[in-house]
Amino acid sequence: MKHLQLFIALFFSLGSLYAQDFDKSWYNELKVDSFFNTEAAKQVIDVEKPNYALLNAAVFFATNETRAKKNLPLYQYSDPLEKAAAAHSDAMRADRFFNHINKADKENRTPELRIANQGGDFKGTGENILEMPPYKTGANGEYDVERKDDGTYVFLQVNGKPLKVLTYGDFGRAAVKLWMKSPEHKANILSKQFGFLGCGTSIEEDPFKFKSLPMVLVTQNFGAGE
30 neighbors 55 (Cβ within 8 angstroms): no
Q: Is 71 left (phi over 0), alpha (psi -120 to 50) or beta?
A: left
* Residue of 33, 85, 29 lying closest to 55 (CA atoms): 85
Q: What is the pTM of this model?
A: 0.90
How far is residue 188 CA from its own chain's centroid?
A: 15
* Residue of 56, 65, 50 lying closest to 200 (CA atoms): 56
* Residue of 144, 149, 148, 147 lying closest to 161 (CA atoms): 144
State whether residue 189 is helix, strand or coil. Answer: helix
**H helix intervals, 96-156:** 111-117
**H helix intervals, 98-201:** 111-117, 168-180, 183-189
Distance CA 161, CA 151 (A): 19
* Residue of 119, 97, 99 lying closest to 110 (CA atoms): 99
**H helix intervals, the chain:** 26-29, 32-36, 52-69, 79-95, 111-117, 168-180, 183-189
Tell me how long the chain is.
226
Per-residue pLDDT of the chain (226 residues; tens, 9 = 90+): 454 555 556 554 444 333 446 778 999 999 999 999 999 999 999 999 999 999 999 999 999 999 999 999 999 999 999 999 999 999 999 999 999 999 999 999 999 999 999 999 999 999 999 999 999 987 777 889 999 999 899 999 888 899 999 999 999 999 999 999 999 999 999 999 999 999 999 998 888 888 889 999 999 999 998 6
Angle between helices 79-95 and 52-69 (to 10 degrees): 120
